[in-house]
């Protein structure tokens, strides 16, 4: 890559930065954006789409074609460090009397999230089959419908994963699939917040919330998305290194990018092995980072990894990936699938809400409603959506829900990334019946995990009660 190409790449990031800043400003001043907690990256991405030449076909701001092509490819690259950072810093909790309850609650949250993911996948496969029968002229591509679980449970950042993976497989519709995933993710975030806020208001009036006596007001600064009061501004993380040696941010970034580099090396080594050539780079990245994290923990250097700093870095990569994905959205190609897409979105709302709230009410013994909101928010949008809904229910985070939710979400993220290439290859290689059977088997396994965790919890409670009675 010569200096001219590097300069063009810098221009691309400069424009995306402007869009992010514009999204931050609009989030702060537009009431609707504040109420829905739309990320600045989503707002900025749609702003770039609306003012650019894609919608206006040559009109609007004349962004060069190479910029738009770079934006379309960027999510697939930036998502690699985002995925790679997931295992970094993971630690297993200590054993103790309270460990069983916490562990089973984490297992339940993880199981319900996975149940929602598999149910959304089954819906996507089913919708594709139905439209193949009733509207064969649409000529839906083989993996159509998988954008629902990847947009809802995966979130906007997963659009880059889809685009990168499909492009690596040589699928000509990779950019359309990336755009459809961005679309379902956006609808998921908005719908998840609306469904959650309505549910919280109803539950509070019915006395179903454990902490909230009436619907609380989110602090205006949190709604706007920025904090101007210096005394209330929080730290982005602990400095685990001295700046005289290396900046803590640089240190964490170096670990993440080193893991990504090792992943590319490993992928190059195994490229010629049958069956491994179709595994995407981010899958290698997450496996390599598990190994890197294991070594760090074994050497007793785990305290050098700060989870907040790591999250800030992956969040920054994710912000740019999202705004680039939406700004390059192939609108006219997406509109071709508008009818089945709307069926996916509406159907996704229904099954996700029913499963997340219904199963939480049945299987959780404490804070069932608060837990249901975190699972609903994540299964419709992103981790932050679930966190915002939990903050409305539990403003001061007095309940243990946040800790259980964070760990359960981490396991869900890892599992969904592992299952993605398997599911896609199944959809490309086999027909409707085999794919539905595969997803139903996964769904049953998730239900078995949920029921098993509940039984372990009940058994532990009986033993504790017997021990206290003795």
| Tokens (6 digits) for 79 | 């998502």
Residue 421: partners with Cβ closer than 8 Å, 6 or more residues away? 165, 278, 279, 280, 283
13, 170, 164: which is closest to 77 by C-alpha? 164
Neighbours of 231 (CB within 10 A): 5
CB 88 within 8 A of CB 292: yes
Can you list the alpha helix ranges (DSSP code H) found in 52-154?
53-56, 65-84, 99-134, 147-152
Q: What's residue 133's pLDDT?
A: 94
Distance set, CA 368 to CA 54, 379, 437 (Å) = 45, 16, 31
CB 372 within 8 A of CB 390: no
CB 372 within 8 A of CB 356: yes
Can you list the alpha helix ranges (DSSP code H) found in 135-234?
147-152, 158-168, 174-206, 220-224
216, 170, 213, 221: which is closest to 34 by C-alpha? 221
Q: What's residue 447's pLDDT?
A: 97
Q: What's residue 276's pLDDT?
A: 63
CA–CA separation, 383 and 357 (whole Å): 17
Three-state SS for 330? coil
Q: What's residue 441's pLDDT?
A: 97
Q: What is the pTM of this model?
A: 0.77
Per-residue pLDDT of the chain (470 residues; tens, 9 = 90+): 678 888 988 999 999 999 999 999 998 889 888 877 778 888 999 899 899 888 887 678 888 888 888 888 888 788 788 878 878 887 755 554 445 677 888 899 999 999 999 999 999 999 999 999 999 998 899 999 999 999 998 877 788 888 888 988 899 999 899 989 989 988 888 888 889 888 988 888 888 888 766 655 556 676 677 777 787 777 778 889 998 999 999 999 999 999 999 999 988 888 777 656 666 777 788 889 889 998 998 898 888 998 888 888 988 888 898 898 888 888 887 888 999 999 999 999 999 999 999 999 999 988 999 999 999 999 997 777 887 788 778 777 778 888 788 778 878 887 888 898 899 999 999 999 999 999 999 999 999 999 999 998 888 777 766 666 55
Phi-psi map region of 459: left, alpha, beta (phi>0 left; psi -120 to 50 alpha): alpha
12, 13, 83, 92: which is closest to 421 by C-alpha? 83
Burial readout 267-292 (b: 16 or more C-beta within 10 A, e: otherwise): beeeeeeeeeeebbbbbbbbbbbbeb
Neighbours of 43 (CB within 10 A): 25
Residues in the chain: 470
């Amino acid at each position: 890559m010569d200096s001219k190409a590097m300069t063009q790449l810098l221009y691309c990031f400069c424009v995306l930065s402007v869009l992010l800043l514009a999204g931050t400003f609009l989030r702060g001043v537009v009431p609707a954006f504040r109420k829905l907690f739309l990320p600045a990256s989503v707002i900025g991405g749609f702003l770039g789409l609306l003012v650019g030449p894609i919608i206006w076909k040559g009109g609007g701001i004349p962004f060069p074609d190479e910029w738009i092509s770079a934006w379309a490819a960027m999510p697939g690259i930036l998502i690699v460090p985002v995925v790679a950072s997931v295992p970094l810093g993971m630690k297993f909790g200590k054993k103790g009397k309270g460990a069983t309850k916490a562990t089973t609650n984490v297992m339940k949250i993880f199981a319900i999230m996975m149940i929602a993911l598999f149910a959304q996948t089954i819906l996507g496969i089913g919708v594709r089959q139905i439209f193949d029968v009733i509207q064969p002229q649409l000529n839906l591509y083989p993996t159509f419908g998988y954008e629902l679980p990847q947009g809802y449970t995966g979130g906007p950042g997963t659009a880059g994963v889809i685009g990168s993976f499909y492009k690596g497989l040589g699928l000509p519709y990779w950019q359309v699939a990336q755009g459809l995933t961005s679309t379902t993710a956006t609808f998921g975030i908005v719908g998840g917040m609306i469904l959650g806020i309505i549910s919280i208001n109803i539950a509070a009036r019915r006395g179903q919330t454990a902490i909230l006596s009436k619907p609380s007001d989110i602090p205006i600064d949190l709604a706007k998305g920025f904090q101007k009061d210096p005394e209330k501004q929080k730290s982005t993380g602990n400095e685990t290194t001295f700046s005289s040696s290396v900046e803590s941010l640089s240190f964490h970034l170096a670990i993440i990018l080193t893991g990504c580099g090792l992943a590319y090396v490993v992928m190059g080594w195994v490229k010629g092995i049958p069956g491994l050539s179709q595994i995407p780079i981010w899958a290698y990245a997450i496996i390599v980072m598990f190994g890197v994290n294991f070594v760090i923990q074994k050497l007793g250097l785990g305290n050098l990894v700060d989870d907040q700093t790591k999250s800030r870095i992956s969040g920054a990569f994710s912000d740019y990936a999202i705004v680039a994905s939406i700004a390059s959205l192939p609108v006219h190609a997406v509109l071709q699938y508008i009818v089945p897409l709307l069926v996916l979105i509406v159907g996704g709302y229904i099954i996700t809400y029913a499963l997340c709230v219904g199963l939480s009410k049945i299987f959780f013994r404490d804070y069932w409603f608060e837990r249901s909101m975190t699972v609903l928010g994540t299964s419709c949008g992103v981790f932050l959506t679930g966190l915002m809904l939990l903050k409305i229910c539990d403003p001061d985070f007095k309940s243990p829900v946040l800790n259980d939710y964070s760990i359960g979400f981490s396991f869900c993220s890892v599992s969904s990334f592992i299952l993605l290439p398997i599911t896609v290859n199944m959809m490309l290689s086999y027909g409707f019946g085999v794919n539905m059977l595969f997803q139903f088997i996964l769904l049953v396994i998730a239900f078995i995990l949920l029921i098993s965790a509940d039984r372990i919890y009940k058994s532990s409670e009986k033993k504790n009660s017997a021990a206290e009675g003795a």
